[in-house]
């Protein structure tokens, strides 16, 4: 029985850490270099919930609380896994179309292209990235849906300013030293 209690303690700690990693991955999403390792919130939450459910079975004494707690944890893990599948099933694959380094700042303009979720319309996502090692960040500049507008050109007009030429007009975006834009492009996404 002592083995079950120590296994339940370990599973509780592991489950809690995995659930914390799930939340931490969402919080650290802007750090695009760390994203491949940290941004797996659905996987971490599902495995963490299953570990907490197993900890309930092994560590709690009263049958009603034991199986009730396990059911809540496992159902929570299953619902998170289903939500993750549903969210990624309709996600479009984006490819890097162009990268442009800022002329005077450690920033990079990235244009990603793909198609709309349920239609074959071309979509361009516009982002700016900083270069600060592992703490490099990525900020969203907006999105352009080719069915609504066309993205004619985009580029740096200065060290910290971006000019996007759309079919509806010109959008100038100022970016601070940390990469945060003062406005975004509304291109019908």
94, 112 in Cβ contact below 8 A? yes
Query: At 36, is the pLDDT very low, low, confident or very high (cuts 50, 70, 90)?
Result: confident
Q: Residue 39's pLDDT is what?
A: 76
Domain termination residue (choose one: 37, 57, 89): 89
The residues, ordered by sequence, that sit 6+ positions from 117 with a Cβ below 8 Å of its Cβ are 90, 91, 92
Domain that holds residue 30: 2-89
Average pLDDT over the chain, rounded to whole? Answer: 85
Q: Is the confidence at residue 157, as pLDDT, over 80?
A: yes
Q: Based on the domain organization, do 39 and 113 belong to the same domain?
A: no
pLDDT (mean) for 70-78: 86
3-state helix, strand, coil in the chain (%, to 5): 40, 30, 30
Q: Based on the domain organization, do 136 and 152 belong to the same domain?
A: yes
Output the six-digit token pair for 123: 């979509």
Q: Based on the domain organization, do 66 and 103 belong to the same domain?
A: no
Domain termination residue (choose one: 89, 119, 152): 89
Q: Based on the domain organization, do 28 and 99 belong to the same domain?
A: no
Query: Taking the model in full, what pTM does it have?
Result: 0.69
Query: At 153, is the pLDDT very low, low, confident or very high (cuts 50, 70, 90)?
Result: very high
To the nearest whole percent, how much of the chain has pLDDT over 70?
Answer: 98
Q: Based on the domain organization, do 56 and 116 belong to the same domain?
A: no
């Amino acid at each position: 029985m002592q083995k079950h209690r120590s296994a339940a303690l370990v599973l509780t700690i592991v489950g809690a850490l995995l659930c914390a990693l799930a939340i931490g991955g969402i919080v650290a999403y802007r750090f695009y270099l760390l994203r491949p390792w940290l941004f797996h919130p659905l996987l971490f939450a599902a495995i963490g919930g299953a570990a907490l459910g197993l900890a309930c079975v092994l560590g709690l004494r009263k049958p009603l609380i034991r199986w009730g707690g396990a059911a809540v944890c496992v159902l929570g893990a299953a619902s998170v896994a289903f939500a993750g599948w549903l969210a990624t099933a309709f996600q479009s694959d984006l490819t890097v179309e162009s990268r442009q380094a800022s002329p005077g700042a450690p920033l990079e303009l990235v244009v990603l292209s793909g198609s709309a979720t349920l239609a074959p319309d071309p979509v361009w996502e516009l982002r700016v990235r900083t270069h600060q090692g592992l703490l490099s960040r990525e900020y969203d500049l907006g999105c352009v849906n080719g069915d609504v507008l066309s993205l004619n050109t985009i580029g740096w007009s200065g060290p910290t300013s971006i000019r996007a030429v759309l079919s509806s007009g010109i959008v100038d975006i100022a970016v601070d030293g940390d990469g945060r834009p003062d406005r975004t492009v509304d291109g019908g996404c």
